[in-house]
Amino acid sequence: MSAAISSIPVKAARKKSKRRSVTEPDLSYPQPVIQNGAVLPFDRERAYSPINAPVAFQPSEQRILPLGNQIYAGDTIATLQGFEDNSFDACITDPPYNIARGNKKGMTWAFSNHVTMHEKWDAYSTDDYERFTAAWMSEVCRVVKPNGNIFIFGSYHNIYTVGAIATRMEMKILNSIIWAKPNAQPNITCRMFTESTEQLVWICNNHFKKASKWTYNYAHMKALNGGKQMRNYWEIPLTPKSEKTEGKHPAQKPLALMERIVLAGTHPGDRVLDCFAGSGSTLLACDKLDRRWIGIERDDNYCDLAYRRIDRERQQRRLLPVNT
């Protein structure tokens, strides 16, 4: 294990201290806008470009309980630092996987529209990625209530880092779930197996010896699985085109997958956090299933995409749009 992981302060995340995070926030991205001690939600009328000047955020100065059904535009660590302890019942999130190759052009498959990820937000050095992951996971543990559920997505590129950090923090890992993609992209090199799964680590936000009474809607899951116990192997196709009508995100998760997680691990009315909201798949699933949602996303275009998706789905249900 690298020095970066072994230097994570064990149990630090569960202390209600005003401890600063392991890394400083990245100020080159839009920062949360603070007014009268409150973090302002994403403003849909704001121009995308040029981005508002970054606002210096003073961690632990005036923490707030974020309102439900909002997306905060900004760096996740800085934004989380502005939230009160125990603000959420659960966190379901899909962080950068550290797959991207910076600005290098990836290989493409001649017979599909597959393009290798080269998003800037997904490219870290190994040490930086470990520090970044430890920092946001520590904040998530602080803002989620004790024994609240934390679900974190990953692939083989990052899931071992996430698992090692959770173990180092002595948290209770309940399951790892395999999302199997029956229509996965073919392997263009033909030198290894077709990568057709992603993982989801399910953590109970407590010390592994103290964890208790986490939410698991056993009956719902059993009903969803034709009356048999739900297994931790879920076959769900890749995000269909019908879910991309409002725009594209390179890592958009299928709604069926997100709805299953929301149904399994939260109750109606729960406050659910997604601190890497992207196109808003977690938020949309929560909205549909009557959970309150709070997203954090640093790319304004994705914030807007997420709101558009939620509003469109609300229109179909003849509900009012989000910010009315």
Ligand X SMILES: C[S@@+](CC[C@H](N)C(=O)[O-])C[C@H]1O[C@@H](n2cnc3c(N)ncnc32)[C@H](O)[C@@H]1O
Return the number of the residue (96 or 148) whose C-beta is nearest ligand X: 96
* Dist CA 232 CA 180 (whole Å): 10
Helix (H) or strand (E) holding 79: helix 76-81
Q: How far is the CB of 56 from ligand X (least distance, A)?
A: 16
Extract the tokens encoding 83: 């939230």
| Closest CB 295 distance from ligand X, rounded Å | 9
Phi, psi of 79 (to 5 degrees): -70, -45
d(CA 42, CA 66): 12
Provide, rounded to whole angstroms, the least separation between the CB of residue 96 and ligand X. 5
Least Cβ distance, residue 270 to ligand X (angstroms): 18
Count of other CB atoms within 10 angstroms of residue 189 = 8
Residue pointed to by tokens 């899951």: 221
How far apart are the C-alpha atoms of 100 and 248, rounded to whole Å?
17
**For ligand X, the closer CB: 198 or 270:** 198
Which of residues 172 and 181 has its CB atom nearest to ligand X in the complex?
Answer: 181
Residue in the shown chain whose Cβ atom is closest to ligand X = 278
Cα angle, residue 55 at apex, residues 35 and 249 outer, rounded to 5°: 100
**Taking the complex as a whole, how short is the minimal distance between the CB of residue 170 and ligand X, in angstroms?**
25
Nearer to ligand X, 170 or 195 (CB): 195
CA distance 225 to 311: 30
Residues lying near ligand X in the complex (CB under 6 A): 75-76, 94, 96, 121, 249, 251-253, 276, 278-279, 281, 296-299, 302
Contact 63, 83 (CB under 8 A): yes
CB-nearer residue toward ligand X: 120 or 210: 120
Nearest CB to ligand X, comparing residues 266 and 281? 281
Provide the minimum distance between the beta carbon of 24 and ligand X in the complex, in angstroms, as a whole number.
Answer: 12
Give me the residue label for tokens 């890749």.
238
Which tokens belong to 153? Answer: 């997505």
Parallel/antiparallel/unpaired status of strands 34-35 and 38-39: antiparallel
Smallest distance, Å, CB 78 to ligand X? Answer: 8
3-state secondary structure 79-117: HHHCECCCCEEEEEECCCCCCCCCCCCCCECCCCCCECC
